[in-house]
A and B are shown apart, each in its own frame.
Chain A
Amino acid sequence: MSHGSTKLNKNDISSEIDLHVNEVTVAYNNGHVALFDTTFDLGAGTICALVGVNGSGKSTLFKTIMGFLTPTRGSVTIGGKPVQVAQKQNMVAYIPQAEDVDWAFPVSVMDVVLMGRYGYMNFLRIPRATDLEIAIESLRRVNMLDYKERQIGELSGGQKKRVFLARALAQRGRIVLLDEPFSGVDVQTEAAIIELLRELRADEHLILVSTHDLGLVPSFCDQVVIINRTVLAAGPTHDTFTQENLARAFGGTLRDLRIDHTDAPDGTSNEFRVLSDDEEPLIFGHDGRLVDHWHPGIDEEESK
């Protein structure tokens, strides 16, 4: 499998794939400043959640990291190189939101996965044996090999997601960007995606997930960046994903339930609060820190 990623040697990966967002400001042509003075660093072997309300600049930040938007000030570097250079080396893989894809497009599952290999192919993009092998291997890894000749619109929501995950795997990108990966996905696929992301993390990838499923974040992300037109907080999940920071980022948009066991016999305060955006709830103890959260799906999935 290793001969596909000739350009990267496993030993120098960790030094090469840190993402460095430095004082980035992005203004659109209509004069709207979507993001200003945004700064954070992330390193290899990390799953980081990018959290914020709609219009907080999440997708602007994604597009900037992808090099689709050029910052009016500041810079984004990947392994010390500008985004464009990093992309030429196939370092950034991207998994689009389901709404952004035209599912009637006449391409098969295999075609889509091979699109991840374009950067390695020759000028005419004719797949070599290696490319085909890697594409098949990637499909097998997401359990979609049986569907490889299907037209993409004929798949279920979860299957579609897995195909794009396979494309990212086939690309061998060391940084993987996922845009709302859990929207419109069944619980089983959700668990499968998280499991795959964990494997990628163990393999020294850097994974950046934009999501509004707050309750899921603590279960698989070790870093969190909370933004609202700039970075409000960034750091390890346990320190950053606090009630206070989330309240600042989301204001009144979350449901806030306070559950207080005043009848507790030993007199200790067992008060905890539940923050929910109507997906999975987020539960805080009395110190404003996270209470042990549930791990969705994984256990049931494995027991099958």
Chain B
Amino acid sequence: MIELLLTPLHYEYMIKAIVVSGVIGGVCGLLSCFVTLKGWSLMGDALSHAIVPGVAVAYLVGLPFALGAFASGLLAAVVMGVVKSKTRIREDAVIGIVFTTFFAAGVLMISLFPSNISLKTIVLGNILGIADSDIIQMLAISAVALLVLVLKWKDLLLFAFDPNQAQSIGLNTTRLNLMLLILLAATAVAALQAVGAVLVIAMLVTPGATAYQLTDRFGRMMLLACGMGIVTSMLGAYISYFLNGSTGGCIVCLQTLVFLMAFFFAPKYGIVAARRKARRTTDALLISGDAHPVPALRGL
């Protein structure tokens, strides 16, 4: 039995996959706190799809995939900004239009110029078969993102919570906005290889959403989300060995499971706790004489 459980660890490619997933999961976890609080879920989803044409071009001309992906993610963000400010279309629709168009362009490009990348790899990820050069790119991105987050998280927190205040104490909010956007695009690029374009958004939302159910302090929320990202990603990669594939699917299933547990059983904001609280408050208000401040109100 133990022998069986240890088999994945005998393979170098599995150990690599587990470690890389853990690193990416941790960074995405940290960033997910800002994404959930700022309401940027759709943005994360959009960027992870919008980088597809960049990946295609990078492979075609032989550039590092991260470079192409990153450039196309930022281009998408700029296009969204322009379309939003110039037309009467709602923001969510603008984001939807831009990312699906980018994605369609990527799909068309790959179908027009067949090369050694398959669309399926981009959309679903393939960390078990990842090349060493890609691992280096991903680790480098993660390290930079982590550094920026550790140094600037307080500025970003203020920006997410109250941009006007951030502006008024002299922070450059345009730059902070751009910084968050770049971080998002960068981690989306890194996570693309691990879980694929469709599931990147889960890595960038679920840990933060789970942690938010569990705590009221931002510092603690970041720790929880980061820890959850690391553990679920490593465990997911490990389990995928036995399932013979779909690492991304395993990681995200685990994350969703943890989220559901937090949703139901969180000590303060869980659904069970909220039910109990409503019952108690009502009882308390009705028992205290407070409930009848004006005795005879009937028959006005």
Contacts from A to B (Cβ < 8 Å)? 25, 27-33, 36-37, 39-42, 72-73, 104, 223, 230-236
Contact = CB atoms under 8 A, between A and B. Distances in A.
A234 B294 contact: yes
B277 A232 contact: no
B278 A72 contact: yes
Interface in B228-284: 269, 273-278, 281-282
A39 B293 CA distance: 11
Interface residues of B, number: 21
Majority secondary structure of chain B interface residues (helix, strand, loop or mixed): helix
Contacts of A104: 88
A241 to B, nearest CB: 14
22 contacts: A25-B282, A29-B274, A31-B273, A31-B276, A31-B277, A32-B281, A33-B278, A33-B281, A33-B282, A36-B282, A36-B291, A37-B285, A37-B286, A37-B292, A40-B300, A73-B282, A223-B300, A230-B290, A230-B291, A231-B294, A232-B294, A236-B300
A31 B285 contact: no
B300 A234 contact: yes
B293 A72 contact: no
A110 to B, nearest CB: 22
Nearest to B277: A31
B236 to A, nearest CB: 31
Contacts of A27: 278, 281-282
Given A29-B274, A31-B277, A39 B297 contact: yes
Majority secondary structure of chain A interface residues (helix, strand, loop or mixed): strand
Contacts of B274: 29-31
B278 A231 contact: no
Contacts of A230: 290-291, 293
Given A27-B278, A31-B277, A236-B300, A36 B285 contact: yes
Nearest 9 pairs of A and B residues by beta carbon: A31-B277, A27-B278, A31-B274, A37-B291, A31-B278, A33-B281, A36-B285, A234-B297, A235-B300
A223 B298 CA distance: 13
A30 B282 contact: no
A221 B253 CA distance: 58
B62 interface: no
Given A30-B269, A39-B297, A232-B294, 10 more contacts: A25-B282, A31-B277, A32-B281, A33-B281, A33-B282, A40-B297, A41-B300, A72-B278, A72-B282, A234-B297
B298 A39 contact: yes
A78 to B, nearest CB: 16
B229 to A, nearest CB: 26
Contacts of A72: 278, 282
A31 B275 contact: yes
Contacts of B269: 30
B299 interface: yes
A31 B286 contact: no
Contacts of B291: 36-37, 230
A106 B282 CA distance: 44
A233 B294 contact: yes
B143 to A, nearest CB: 39
Contact of B299 (A28, A36, A41, A73): A41
B293 A36 contact: no
A33 B297 contact: no
Contacts of B282: 25, 27, 33, 36, 72-73
A40 B293 CA distance: 13
A232 B278 contact: no
B281 A31 contact: yes
Contact of A42 (B278, B292, B294, B300): B300
A148 B163 CA distance: 41
A296 B210 CA distance: 54
Nearest to B292: A37
A40 B297 CA distance: 6
A30 B291 CA distance: 21
Nearest to A235: B300
Contacts of B276: 31
